[in-house]
Amino acid sequence: MANTYDAIVIGGGPGGYSAAIRLGQLGKKMLCVEKERLGGVCLVWGCMPSKALLHVGEVMVQARELKDRGITFGEPKIDLATLNKWKSKMIDDLVGGIGTLFKLNKVESIAGTAEIVDKNTVKVGSETYTCSNLVIASGSEPIPLPNMERNGKTILNSDDAVSLTDLPKSILILGAGVIGLEFATIYKRLGADVTVVEMMDHALGDTDLEISQALLRILKKQGINVHLKTKCASVEVKGSKVSAKLEGELNETREYDKVLVAVGRRPRTPKGIDKLGLQMDRGFIKVDDKRMTNVAGVFAIGDCAGGPLLAHKAMKEGVVAAEVIAGLPAAYDPMAVPNCVYTDPQVATAGLSEEQAKAAGYEITVGKFRLAALGRARTIGATDGIVKIVGDKKTDLVLGVHAVSPMAEAMIGEAVIAIEMGATVEDIGLSIHAHPTFGESIMEAAEALHGKAIHIANTPVKA
Ligand code: FAD
């Protein structure tokens, strides 16, 4: 039957497209329905455009700051039309790549909004499609704030913030989570005066406190004004400016060119979902370790199935759901989901923070290594940062690795494998790391935990 499938996936973001491709690889007849563009938030509004803008900003900063190494350029200028054209082409290429992978894996896809009729039936426009399994991968969207209505010009959400139409001289960012701090870095690099306010007493959610505090110190040195325990009580659009009233540790009313609301994301679910009787948790769909809901044959993956709201978590869940549908033994294990923040320097973490490990009842040991003692950091003039390992005192198992460091995104894979494979801190210390690399800092932190790092003073020094 033409409209009958082994599985229908609603949403073609990282979760949905990964599920679709894996189902295709496993020989299942399947259909992916996407209402906007394949690739979802990640390719079109999130990971990819934000990292492209961060890179552009980094080049501009380097062009300004390499004078002390004898390199001078003229003052860098940015042509937004050219940048946006380049960024759109990058996104088009990525989206096209998903289409090609779909064809290679015999995934059928249609453009349209899926509405759930029942657990085996989906409607798109006037067409009805039936399936043995339903995978909901409908993602998430920015949380708006009451009385701060997005207008795309002066009051922005993250979708507007990646679509640079003009460069603000000043921007107020509400929220010091990953998205808020990445945009703070983008706009600072592009020359804006950046203020970030956060209601909590710390940044970056449940990131290891010492690490988020270290990052904030560095960002403040770069001139990004971050104020914790401060909320934006109200905003008023005044022509091309916005006046914002801040309350808390910072009490002031000031005008900005733009206000970016980056206070988190909320799940997005398809119309008709209520007909399924799914168990929900604050709007997110509840799933088990196979990513199955309480209704047999209905799966949920990615942002709509709860945190962490990360593309690689969504992709893994997509693969797990596909394999479970195909009858393979698969399960999602969130033991070491890495998390990267593309600030300058980057933050990358995997496993338990010091606070989480203590709360879980571990007696912990901690090893730290500061980048000031790392040769590779000297070679690029970026010595602000720290790498930290949290170990289990009883077994020496690696519980968590946390870094504020250039290239942290590349270093964190080692930590993920160490945790997944049940490595001890000693294993990391004993492994020869190439010199000079940023990766050496993980080895040195491991050695420091046992009091035998070579390039720092260990206390106590071990025989
Ligand atoms: P989504 O990417 O949200 O995709 C869901 C798709 O479903 C959408 O395309 C939507 O159009 C479609 N859809 C919804 N309802 C229907 C329907 N009824 N019918 C048909 N289609 C429907 N994560 C990282 O891991 N690393 C990063 O560096 C990173 N940076 C980010 C930067 C920003 C600015 C933002 C906003 C997010 C970032 N993220 C990052 C998060 C990441 O983008 C998401 O976690 C990821 O996209 C979630 O994937 P998903 O498949 O669950 O959902």
How many Å separate Cα 443 from the centre of its chain?
A: 25
Task: Give mean pLDDT, residues 219-236.
Answer: 97
Instruction: Identify the sign of the CA torsion 419, 422, 425, 431.
Output: negative
Q: In this predicted structure, what is the pLDDT of residue 4?
A: 96
Kindly report, residue by residue over 381-432, the tens digit of the pLDDT: 999 999 999 999 999 999 999 999 999 999 999 999 999 999 999 999 999 9
At 350-385, the pLDDT tens digits run: 999 999 999 999 999 999 999 999 999 999 999 999
Per-residue pLDDT tens digits for 4-38: 999 999 999 999 999 999 999 999 999 999 999 99
Mutate to test the pocket of ligand 1, among 8, 47, 156 (most ligand atoms within 8 A of CB): 47
Whole-Å CA distances, 23 to 7, 8, 407: 8, 10, 34
Ligand 1 mean position, distance from CA 268 (Å)? 10
Q: What atom of ligand 1 comes closest to residue 183's alpha carbon?
A: 34
Sign of the alpha-carbon dihedral angle for 406, 410, 416, 418:
negative
Residue of 8, 36, 41, 123 with the most ligand 1 atoms within 8 Å of its CB, for mutation? 41
The mean pLDDT of 266-284, rounded to a whole number, is 98
Nearest to 278 by CA among 142, 141, 138, 109: 138
Mean pLDDT confidence for 81-89: 96
Q: Which residues are CB-neighbours of 94 under 8 A, at least 6 positions away?
A: 39, 43, 48
Does the pTM of the predicted model rise above 0.85? yes
> In the prediction, which pLDDT does 463 show?
52
Q: Tens digits of per-residue pLDDT, 283-312? A: 999 999 999 999 999 999 999 999 999 999
Q: How far is the CA of 281 from the centre of ligand 1 (A)?
A: 19
Quick check: 83 and 77 in contact, CB under 8 A?
no
Q: How far is residue 270 from each of residues 6, 34, 313, measured CA to CA in Å?
A: 20, 11, 21
Q: What is the pLDDT of residue 65?
A: 87
Rounded Cα distance, 190 and 173, in Å? 15
Query: Looking at the predicted structure, is the pLDDT value of residue 462 above 70?
Result: no
Give the pLDDT confidence score for residue 261 in this predicted structure: 98
Question: Does the pLDDT at position 461 exceed 70?
Answer: no
Looking at 151-208, list the stretches that DSSP marks H as alpha helix, in order from N- to C-terminal side: 158-161, 178-189
Which pLDDT score is estimated for 2? 74
**Euclidean distance between CA atoms 440 and 405, whole angstroms:** 12
Alpha-carbon distance 278 to 305, whole Å? Answer: 11
Chain segment 310-340, per-residue pLDDT in tens? 999 999 999 999 999 999 999 999 989 999 9
For residue 47, the ligand 1 atom closest to its alpha carbon is 30
**What number of other Cβ atoms are within 10 A of residue 160's Cβ?**
20
DSSP annotation of 295 reads S
pLDDT band of 168, cuts 50, 70, 90: very high
Is residue 202's pLDDT more than 60? yes
Per the structure block, which two tokens stand in for 383?
């010595």
* CA separation for the pair 82, 88 (Å, rounded): 10
CA 248 to mean position of chain CA atoms: 28
Q: What are phi and psi of 45, to 5 degrees?
A: -125, -10
Q: Which residues line ligand 1 at a C-beta cut-off of 6 Å?
A: 10-16, 33-36, 40-42, 45-47, 50, 113-114, 137-140, 158, 179, 268, 270, 302-303, 309-312, 314
Query: How many angstroms separate the Cα of 144 from the Cα of each of 158, 266, 448?
Result: 11, 9, 45
Of the residues 55, 435, 450, 455, only one is catalytic, namely 435
Pair of tokens at residue 35: 């209402």
Asked about 55 being catalytic, the answer comes back as: no
Q: What Rg do the C-alpha atoms of the chain give, in angstroms?
A: 24
Question: How many whole angstroms from 46 Cα to the centroid of ligand 1?
Answer: 7
Distances (CA, A) of 421 to 59, 194, 389: 37, 42, 16
Res. 126: pLDDT tops 60: yes
Partner residues linked to 402 by β-bridges: 349, 388
